[in-house]
Amino acid sequence: MTAANPYALQLGSRDAREVIRATPHNLIHLADSLGAGGFERSYAPGKWTARMILCHLADCEIAFGFRIRQALAQDNHLIQPFDQDAWAQPYGNPSFHAQTALHVFCDLRGWNVLLLDSLDPEAFRRRVRHPERGEMTLETIVEIMAGHDLNHLHQLETIAGQG
């Protein structure tokens, strides 16, 4: 695992762009498996519920989309990290519905994939900097997205298996 990509082990040798393309379908399938009652279950004591994971994924897709666009628009863009726990504070409110989060994620992911698919290969070599992880490329951002997806898909699969 590299400092630039904390999710490298999750991704392994899988193609990052294929993983991010497949994630919406996989999430929809898992949401169907969970059923309405499953969204309030957690994969371990003290961890996020399935609903909260979906909210987190929707928020992260906003952040990833911004990072991609900034990497394309600005040379050596400095990525702004965010505190996922601070962003997650509102998820305890039941008005943050799992299905709404799922739809938001899927729509944003489709938009981000459309942008990524429009790029020439050289664009993925554009450099950005992260204050904690150092220098990386746009390709690294895509790999982080994919590994992040796999991490949370695994958590949701665990929850679905409990039902």
- Specify if 112 maps to a domain: yes
- Specify if 119 maps to a domain: yes
Those residues with Cβ within 8 angstroms of residue 53's Cβ, 6 or more apart along the chain or in another chain: 152, 155, 156
Number of domains in the chain: 1
- Specify if 15 maps to a domain: no
- Specify if 154 maps to a domain: yes
- Specify if 155 maps to a domain: yes
pLDDT of 116 reads: 98
- Specify if 46 maps to a domain: yes
- Specify if 17 maps to a domain: no
CB burial of 117-146 (b: ≥16 within 10 Å; e: otherwise) equals eeeeeebbebebebeebeebbbbbbbbbbb
Going residue by residue through the chain (163 aa), what tens digit of pLDDT does each one get?
A: 456 677 778 888 899 999 999 999 999 999 999 987 899 999 999 999 999 999 999 999 999 999 999 999 999 999 988 899 999 999 989 899 999 999 999 999 999 999 999 999 999 999 999 998 899 999 999 999 999 999 999 999 999 998 6
pLDDT of 3 reads: 62
Whole domain around residue 105: which residue ranges? Answer: 37-162
Q: What is the CATH number of the domain that holds 126?
A: 1.20.120.450
Cα 91 from chain centre: 16
pLDDT of 113 reads: 98
pLDDT of 36 reads: 78
pLDDT of 1 reads: 46
pLDDT of 2 reads: 56
- Specify if 31 maps to a domain: no
Those residues with Cβ within 8 angstroms of residue 91's Cβ, 6 or more apart along the chain or in another chain: 48, 51, 52, 55, 56
